[in-house]
Structure 1
Amino acid sequence: MDLNKIEPIYKKLEESITLLQTALDVSYFDALIETGDNLLDGGNVQVEDGKPNAEQVATLEKIYAGIDLDLYTAEEMRKLFQLLLLKGYRQEKIQANHQMTPDAIGILVADILQNSFLTTQELSILDLSVGTGNLLLTVNNNLVNKQVKLAGVDNDDTLLTLASLNSQLEKVALKLYHQDAMQPLLVDPVDVVLSDLPVGYYPIDENVTEYMTKAQEGHSYMHHLLIEQSFNYLKEGGLGVYIVPQNIFETTESKSLLKFIQTKGHLQAVLNLPKELFGNKTMAKTILVLQKQGGKAKQAENVLLGDIPSFKDLDNLKKFMAELNQWLKNNIKI
């Protein structure tokens, strides 16, 4: 990606966001959303109760006149939006569960899907913790020769609005649902569920009384519940690809999760991500690949367990990816 290409538009959008923050007395993200809405409306500045004022409107119109969204690919727009979000995260001190998934992980997940669905041209993908949509859109932009239907769920309306704006700027169709993902969803079964799962306790115990992965006492782990919930919306033989804590199978609560996987699915791969991706090594994560029972799915003779090499060690990473892709072709039957 040529960052020099997106630097001029980044500066223009940053100028618009800063101006709108002051003019409307709103947060960085609200000003980003307002900027995006103005651009998608052909550069027309939305005015309410005299804000922004005439002088500010003139300045904004001049900024927008110098922006041509058609000059940028979907991936360039995603990268641009990501840079704007990162600045917002620094300003507003966003909690860890709302941080974006690193691009390298999204590209790796796309490669896993590409080599699992070799003969499938149409693919439906659902993210139950979609956030700003960065992981889902990274995967979409890195899949080759696939017609992809995307859907995402989140209970944070600001994050969903950002995801909608992100997808519209990329000209990518993304269906979004604003609700608690633990509740019944009006979603058709999909080929793939992928999520960088939020870690923590789910606070509403009465909503998960029927879940196999619920805790025997107290609140239940949210990431365990979401894995179980995702299986309700996977087609038979469909894949679940989850970004989870590396110690997911080392806690006392993991027994019920393992029992659920053995009952409803197949544990196919556990791939530890390089610790360099995470500022705190205790926050290290793993890519967990599960497959729902049914269809052509079968348990791999040998579950793929491994440590993904550093993304800086290109020779070993290339060798690892070749071995991973061969394993996927031999063991994942869709």
Structure 2
Amino acid sequence: MRQPIKQLKTKKTEVITLATACKMLGISEATGKNWLRLGKLSAKDTETGKLIYKHEVEKLLLSLKKDGSNVLKSRRNKTALKGRELYVNYVSRESPNHAAVALLVNGFTGSTTAITALLCESFLQLLVDAKRIKTNCTKQYFKAYLEGTLDADIYDWLLLELMDKTSRNTLLSASKKLPSFTLHFVPFEDTLGLIYLSLMELSKRRQSGRYYTPQSLTDTAVETLQVSRGRVFLDPCCGSGNFLLRLLRRGARVEDLYGCDLDGFSVTLARINFVLSGNCSDKDTLQDHLLKCDTITCRSLPQVDVVLGNPPWGSCDDEKVVSRYARTLICAEKKRPCFADLFVERSLNLLKDGGIVQFVLPEALLNVASHETIRAFITEHARVRSVRYLGEVFHAVQCPSVILTLEKTSFSNASGDVIVNVGDSNYIVRRQRKGADFNFKVTDQEALVLDKMDDLEHCVKLKGHAKFALGIVTGSNNDSIFKEKIEGAEPVLRGLDIEPFKINPPDSFIKYEEGAFQQVAPMELYRAKEKLVYRFIAKYPIVAVDTHGMLTLNSCNLLVPEFKDLSATYLAAVLNSSAVRFYFEKKFHTIKILRSLLEEVPVPVASKEDHMYIEFLVEELKEADEVASKEIIKKIDRKIAEIYGLGKRALKLISQV
């Protein structure tokens, strides 16, 4: 059992790698490096790099926990948040167990042994409520079982699996301390899974990339799959069996369902769920069909027709495991491969032509560069049949998701209609896509507009024609940023100070001192006579021209254009236009305005007359009221669209974004 930090005794000379220290603290390595710079951690220089003193890491972690510090809680997609909470959306809120488990989890402070006892008690409660076993007991079923006054009958072997190697005496002691609660049997509901994943530490769930699938989402994922006798399904990362339960609900036979998972405890819960469903209680059948194994390397998996599920989304950090995976998987031939990529490749390899893979996956797999290898593999070995964009559907996880359906084929670059669902909108993508084109949020009509912008003959790009710079990273805004101007301080721009064509008066001030901050750009870029400043956190460019040489924070980045014939004002007009907003939102699906994305935008070269006209309109904006400003911006939009060669129909299309 994991010891509390305060009980650990580490020699003050013991050192660990930065990666290990970051895992202990639940932070990224980038944050760890920043903490080294700030002196929050001390390191020892060695031939192999910096090593961290372990006792300092333990001391820091303990102090953060004691102080209730927000340092580890404020990060997006936080991996360091500790503790337990109800996995709110996992089962229906209408379930009688939802409120019961919420109360249970809210006040539960037990150890791993206590969790085991709790799950055993829950299993027995569900068996009794489903009338699978008879007893005269009215409460504390697991205590009665351990004391020999309750007979689990044919389900005894499952309790023994749950108990694993924990001694009966230890469990009996834990069972006596369990809080009072009552569960009800709900057919095909993963009640035990809800308890288990709610009591797992949040940090463990997020660091492993395991986002358990809500019942409503599993129903959505399986509703399009044909269930028939002899059609065999496999969930290669089945957890407690949620997807397979929903297939049972739709009439699938146990003989046609297989699942496997590395987490043996979850597989036991899946077996229990099959028993509770009333479809099977045979030990041999359940152990043959629900396997405790590594799907990626297991050689005894059956031939199946459909692979479905929600694979883990985290990265594989174990070099030995990656090396083992790389023997058979292309996606494992790089450092820290993504499990989602590995599972997609492995699943396609398991299938014969015509077989289906239907996974819940991070939307990033379709458009982020780090997933390029799996997209190339899909292009070579499958065709995309459908994509359902889900948005952020996982509890407390800010990561858009999709349901991706693939059909295995022996034809490279196989094409065909792709059914797409985005919110309330459904459409079919019929265009001949390039191999790397997995952007299904773009309709065929929208793709024509993007192609026209990309193929524009008279255009330039910012790459090689601008100097980019990040805003100042202070290391601690609380210590470095002032709300009032003090002696020696000057205004500094934040992202929210920037609006299209306009810089609002800043309400933040900074005292610039050489070497006092974590990261700064060369001063001549901040002080440039004319530069573009733009919000870093945004879905599309929001740009203004600064002619006062102002400093910026890292929420407000900048670029100094170096074109001979295109002014900063004209560039701001292009980047603020509906056309570029459309280009960004349809092509990049970002929430960060990265330099690499800005450098991809085709900037149309205007005639001298059009260039002057745009500058004239932008100048008019400075004195215009709100109503007049809207009309001027419409004129700028129409003129920029015209320069791009886009007609009225295209302008109408892009203005709807």
Among candidates 22, 28, 50, match of residue 115 of structure 2: 28
Identify the match of residue 303 of structure 1 among 418, 424, 427.
Answer: 418
Instruction: Give the letter aligned to residue 284 of structure 1.
Output: P
Task: Identify which of 227, 235, 258 aligns with 2:344.
Answer: 227
Deviations 1:233-256 (A, max 9, x none): 324311100111011022323232
Question: Within 2, Cα distance between the matches of 1:51 and 1:27?
Answer: 7
**1:129–1:154: 8 Å Cα contact kept in structure 2?**
yes
**2:245 aligns with one of 130, 133, 137:** 137
* Structure with higher RCO (Cα < 8 A, 6+ apart): 1
Distance 1:288 1:166 in 2: 26
Find the partner of 2:327 among 207, 210, 227.
210
Question: CA deviation digits over 1:132-165, x for unaligned, max 9?
Answer: 1112212331x25x44521111111221122222
Matched residues in 1 for 2:313 and 2:211: separation?
12
* Residue number among 182, 188, 193 corresponding to 1:78 in the alignment: 188
Secondary structure of 1:268's counterpart equals: strand
Q: 162, 172, 193: which is aligned to 1:52?
A: 172
Asked whether the equivalents of residues 194 and 240 of structure 1 are also in contact (C-alpha less than 8 Å), the reply is yes
Q: Which residue of 1 aligns with 2:232?
A: 124
Per-residue deviation at 1:176? 1.3
Say if 2:390 and 2:400, in contact at 8 Å, map to a contact too: yes
Q: Residues 110 and 140 of structure 1 are in contact (CA less than 8 Å); yes or no, is this contact kept in structure 2?
A: no
- Residues 1:188 and 2:302 aligned together: yes
- Bigger Rg, which one: 2
After superposing the two structures, state which structure 1 stretch, 42-51 or 229-238, moved more.
42-51
Match of 1:151 in 2: 258
Question: 2:201 matched to 1:93?
Answer: yes
Q: Is the 8 A contact 1:212 1:260 kept in 2?
A: no
Q: 1:262 maps to which residue?
A: 379
The whole-number CA distance in structure 1 between the counterparts of 2:345 and 2:310 is: 15
C-alpha spacing 1:25/1:178, structure 2 compared with 1 (3 Å): closer
Amino acid paired to 1:32: L
Aligned equivalents of 2:405, 2:308: Cα separation in 1? 9
Task: State the alpha-carbon separation in 1 of the partners of residues 215 and 391 from structure 2.
Answer: 13
Taking a change above 3 Å as real, the CA distance of residues 278 and 247 of structure 1, as seen in their structure-2 partners, is farther
The CA deviation string for residues 201-225 of structure 1, in whole angstroms up to 9 with x for no partner, is 2221221223453254312221111
How many residue pairs end up in the alignment?
286
Q: Is the 8 A contact 1:133 1:163 kept in 2?
A: yes
SS of the equivalent of 2:421 reads strand
The AA in structure 1 aligned to 2:145 is V
Deviations 1:27-79 (A, max 9, x none): 324421354268466556134349637x96xx99xx9xx99x9xx6xxx2333
Give matches, 1:310-329, under 5 Å: 316=424, 320=426
- Structure 1 equivalent of residue 276 of structure 2: 169
In the TM superposition, what whole-angstrom CA distance separates every residue of 1:178-217 from its partner, at most 9, and x where no partner exists? 1122113312111110020101222212212234532543
Q: For 1:37 and 1:183, how far apart are their aligned partners in 2?
A: 35
User: Of the candidates 65, 87, 103, which is equivalent to residue 215 of structure 2?
Assistant: 103
Q: Contact between 1:246 and 1:286, CA under 8 Å: does it hold in 2?
A: yes
Q: Distance in 2 between matches of 1:107 and 1:4?
A: 16
In 2: Cα distance, 1:25 partner to 1:304 partner: 45
TM-score normalised by length of structure 1: 0.69
Q: 1:258 to 1:27 in 2, by over 3 A?
A: same
Q: Which segment is superposed worse, 162-171 or 123-132?
A: 162-171
Asked whether the 8 Å contact 2:326–2:333 carries over to 1, the reply is no
Cα distance in structure 2, aligned partners of 1:108 and 1:92: 26
Number of the residue aligned with 1:332? none
Residues 6-47 of structure 1, C-alpha deviations (whole Å, 9 max, x = no match) = 459x68xx7xxx8xx98x982324421354268466556134
Question: Cα RMSD (Å) of the superposition?
Answer: 4.1
CA separation of 1:253 and 1:216: change in aligned 2, threshold 3 A: farther
Q: In structure 2, what is the Cα distance between the partners aligned to 1:165 and 1:215?
A: 34
Of Structure 1 and Structure 2, the greater helix share is in: 1
- Structure 1 unaligned residues grouped into runs of 5+: 310-315, 325-334
- Report Cα offsets for 1:273-329 as digits up to 9, x if no partner: 143555444x1110110111269xx9552222331x2xxxxxx4xx85xx89xxxxx
Change (3 A) 1:138 1:302: same
For 1:177 and 1:140, how far apart are their aligned partners in 2? 18
2:543 counterpart residue number:
none
Q: Distance in 1 between matches of 2:409 and 2:193?
A: 38
1:86-142 superposed Cα distances (whole Å, 9 cap, x missing partner)? 34444443414444201222111221103xx6xx4332111111111112212331x
Name the CA distance, whole Å, in 2 between partners of 1:299 and 1:266: 6
Equivalent in the alignment of 1:197: 311
- Using the alignment, how far apart are the partners of 1:180 and 1:264 within structure 2? 23
TM-score, normalised relative to structure 2: 0.38
Q: Which residue of 1 aligns with 2:85?
A: none
Residue in 2 aligned with 1:291?
Answer: 407
Query: Which amino acid in 2 is paired with 1:181?
Result: T
SS in structure 2 at match of 1:270: strand
Partners of 1:245 and 1:284 within 8 A in 2: yes
The question of whether the paired residues in 2 share the 8 Å contact of 1:271 and 1:286 is answered with: yes
Instruction: Give me the identity figure in percent.
Output: 20
Q: Which runs of 5+ in 2 are unaligned?
A: 1-90, 136-143, 148-167, 281-285, 429-657
Rounded to whole Å, the distance in 1 between the matches of 2:420 and 2:352 is 25
CA distance, structure 2, for counterparts of residue 36 and residue 5 of structure 1? 17
Amino acid corresponding to residue 230 of structure 1 in structure 2: S
